[in-house]
Amino acid sequence: VSALARLYGLEEELSEVARRGSGSACRSMFGGFVQWQRGERPDGTDSLALQVAPETHWPELRVLVLVVRGWQGVWVGFGAREGRVPPSVCPQVSGEKKPVGSTAGMQTSVETSPLLKHRAEVVVPERLAQMMQHIRDRDFEGFGQLAMRDSNQFHATCLDTFPPIFYLTDLSRHIIALAHRYNAHHGHTKVAYTFDAGPNAVIFALADTVAEFVEVVRRSFPPATNGDQFVRGLPVGSAALSQELVAAVVTEPVPGAVQYILHTKPGPGPQLVDDPSQHLLGADGLPRSRA
């Protein structure tokens, strides 16, 4: 949407245009922290995205995407809409299709889940205001607690759908339990998880927590063959774990279950790239191979 608007010289509200193709896309028209407004008009023209804070607002915030085995898409962009999911905590790549697409699943939930109706009318408006305040205050404890609770309730609506939808896997629940053990050991919220319509975990943490938690994940899900490529994106330093931490948090390792970790942070919205080395396409016009 951004590229086509620039090509044709359009200056209208682009988040509303992007939303027609994907709700997630409207939020990606801005950088940093973005709110998707529900809107009230029948034609949806006031269902827009608004920036709550720029990416520079919370420089310590980091994001770890734990891409699990068998899932061929990535959480960023449209990856969660098409892909494959493992039937259990199984290190080999699964050949089974994702059983329910996110769009079809949401339509079924709207038709059959009383919990979703209550969530949309009562819970979400209150939580949205709370989340924006936590972001403005850079309150990680409140931010993390609310992110986890809201993720849990979203997947509760999936279970409340008839027939029920199962996006989380045994491995997803293993990661959830790991995060709670890690926080309990430290006595406060140092990491927070959220899951969309798929099994990949998105972990929020502050910069000074990343190295230790990545090592906890590495111990809990030892990489099978790609140890040097297990962590991608922003660099992550090394961390030594105390015996007490390992004993309290790392239980029953599952080798190879997490394919890799993508380490990133809030960034800007669509950018015009002038440096050819930053382009996704090579000189021949074809996509560059992933490093």
Mean pLDDT in each 10-residue stretch from start to end of the chain (291 residues)?
91 87 88 92 90 96 93 34 28 44 77 92 94 98 98 95 93 97 98 95 98 97 82 95 97 93 94 83 81 51
If one counts every other C-beta atom within 10 angstroms of the C-beta of residue 114, the result is 9
Residue 75 has a pLDDT of: 32
CATH number, domain of 141, equals 3.30.70.890
86 domain-assigned:
no
Q: What pLDDT, on the 0 to 100 scale, is given for residue 86?
A: 28
Return the residue matching tokens 């293993």.
Answer: 174
Q: Residue 270 is part of which domain span?
A: 52-73+99-278
Cα gap 154→38, rounded to integer Å: 17
Matching residue, tokens 């030892």:
222
**What pLDDT does 195 receive?**
97
In a domain, 11, yes or no: no
Assigned domain for 269 exists: yes
Whether 222 is covered by a domain: the verdict is yes
Other CB atoms within 10 Å distance of the CB of residue 109? 21
* Distance in angstroms (rounded) separating the CA atoms of residues 279 and 287: 9
272 in any annotated domain? yes
pLDDT of residue 33: 96
139-163: b (≥16 Cβ within 10 Å) or e = ebebbbbbbbebbebbbebbebbee
Residue 17 CA to residue 4 CA, distance in Å, equals 11
Q: Which residues contact 251 (CB under 8 A, 6 or more apart)?
A: 181, 220
Strands 258-264 and 231-233: parallel
pLDDT given at position 50: 93
CB 160 within 8 A of CB 114: yes
Number of domains in the chain: 1
pLDDT of residue 94: 36
What is the Cα 75 distance to its own chain's centre? 6
Residue 30 lies in a domain: no
In a domain, 252, yes or no: yes
Q: What angle do CA 155, 157, 161 make, to 5 degrees?
A: 120
